[in-house]
Amino acid sequence: MEAPKPEEISHPPMDQLQGFEYCIDSNPSWGEAIALGFQHYILALGTAVMIPSFLVPLMGGSDDDKVRVVQTMLFVGGINTLLQTLFGTRLPTVIGGSHAFLVPIISIIHDSSLMEIHDSHLRFLQTMRAIQGALIVASSIQIILGYSQLWGICSRFFSPLGMVPVIALVGFGLFDRGFPVVGRCVEIGVPMLILFVIFSQYLKNFQTKKLPILERFALLISITVIWAYAHLLTASGAYKHRSDITQLNCRTDKANLISSAPWIKIPYPLQWGAPTFDAGHAFGMMAAVLVSLIESTGAYKAASRLASATPPPAHVLSRGIGWQAFTCIILITYRGLLHTGNWDSTGWTLWDIDWFYGVCFVVLTGKFGALFASIPFTIFAAVYCVVFGLVASVGLSFLQFTNMNSMRNLFITGVAFFLGLSVPQYFRDYTAAALHGPAHTKAGWFNDFVNTIFFSSPTVALIVAVFLDNTLDYKDSAKDRGMPWWVKFRTFKGDSRNEEFYTLPFNLNRFFPPA
């Protein structure tokens, strides 16, 4: 048998992914853009409902309070998405909920001064004000890191090898929000997972008027079908005598959002009163901001690759981080549960889609928004199994620019992945058993800082990978690390394509020249 040729064995590295019908600055039809933007809106609803549903009752809030928080998250997420797309990284990224802020927020909720308030609604309001104050202070730090270019300077220590576990664990690190949640209602979750994969992959060539409708709108179609199926089960009484946890994850009428939501609701600044400030609360929240910043960096890198753009230069990365925090302080709302992430399940990501996604979040904040937000969590978890897996695989794709026949690289990648998954799991297990994190000193702010940092898989991976990558034989390993390919993307003028992807609109670059 004739020996295979080298080109038949391996594939050359490629800057941009294949299989996209449109690139980042293409213009789809208005109808497609609206439908896909609405599809992204539906996907992001899962976390927007899940986090307040967990936190608001702990704060003493009612169903009405939960609805207001959900609507505020949707509204602020839409505004943040529009501004980020216009003036931030310019990447088609969307704002979704972040679990990075759960540790410091729960710490604030259990603050003794707040727990002593006997009136539940008053305790909710005071807790919200305390959270807002901590977020404002912590976000100010993020603004400094962004607009001063400090984070851009830090990013110069990143390499393709160092970023692989960080980006991959943005997806892999959320494995507990995938099938473990699907398993809470398998009769809905498993059909949703199977139907979504069939529509988006096996039937992707099915076309209507030359439009691959099943591939492009797989999420929207499959959620509609399974949601209707879940409502049929609910109406038929299938869950009438089941446990409360089963009903919460399976029923379509258990969230109590539609009945509590007004027809029209526009959130406004200071709707819960003036923020209150506490140094201890703010310091713990700073750790969450740092985690969100790292997770956002991984999401930006993944989004650039999914959008067929070049990796964002240091200047653009800093600009996106700065805008992410700046919009928070302007709106002074429940921004702390938000972070930038790319939710792409269609095979293409565009500015126009993101615009309509943002508009959906801003407009659909009343009963209509509550209607869509009543979709059971299990359906979203099934989608996350695919979407988070896709994000993780994008991170792995950066390995093509490195030498994976190097024991040095194998060591760094393996250790960063293992510790990135193992350390947060230890912190979660410890907290579940002891009802407090491993860091449990008399200094609450220190506990929040340490526990928040090590709860995040991408953050642990960044610490391990970047440290090892910049200390182990780094001078003689530039080629193995992928630096010859990576270095040209560090500066705005390093690659001619950067101007196409990252130039600010309205000729604003003359006032804010790229570095």
Q: pLDDT, tens digit, for every residue of 66-92?
A: 777 777 777 777 777 777 888 888 887
User: What's the DSSP call for residue 202?
Assistant: I
What are the backbone dihedrals phi and psi of residue 280, each rounded to the nearest 5 degrees, phi first? Answer: -65, -45
Distance, CA of 370 to CA of 364 (rounded, Å): 8
Helix (H) or strand (E) holding 10: none
Judged against a pLDDT cut of 80, whether residue 335 lies above it is answered with: no
List the structure tokens of 259: 């009945």
Predicted confidence band of residue 254 (pLDDT cuts 50, 70, 90): low
> Could you tell me which residue, 10 or 389, shows the higher pLDDT?
389
Return the closest-CA partner of residue 134 out of 108, 157, 96, 110.
108
CB 67 within 8 A of CB 257: yes
Judged against a pLDDT cut of 50, whether residue 348 lies above it is answered with: no
**Residue bearing tokens 């956002």:** 296
Give CA separation, 198 vs 32, 202, 206, 313, in Å: 21, 5, 11, 37
Residues in contact with 76: Cβ distance below 8 Å, sequence separation at least 6, in sequence order: 95, 267, 327, 328, 331, 333, 334, 335, 338
Report the pLDDT averaged over residues 39-53.
Answer: 76
Helix (H) or strand (E) holding 407: helix 407-434
Residue 475: how many other CB atoms lie within 10 Å: 5
What burial class does residue 504 get, using C-beta atoms within 10 Å of its C-beta: 0-12 exposed, 13-18 middle, 19+ buried?
middle
CB 301 within 8 A of CB 163: yes
Give CA separation, 344 vs 1, 74, 111, 207, 312, in Å: 43, 18, 38, 20, 18
Judged against a pLDDT cut of 70, whether residue 272 lies above it is answered with: yes
Of 119-123, 144-148, 186-190, 199-203, least confident by mean pLDDT is 144-148
Give CA separation, 427 vs 50, 76, 288, 424, 450, in Å: 21, 31, 15, 5, 10
Full-model pTM: 0.85
CB 256 within 8 A of CB 63: yes
Helix residue ranges, H only, 206-338: 213-216, 218-235, 244-250, 279-306, 314-331
Looking at the chain, the number of H-run helices and the number of E-run strands are: 24, 2
Residues in contact with 147: Cβ distance below 8 Å, sequence separation at least 6, in sequence order: 318, 319, 322
List the structure tokens of 256: 């109590």
Write down the pLDDT at residue 515: 61
Highest mean pLDDT among 66-75, 258-267, 301-310, 455-464 belongs to 455-464
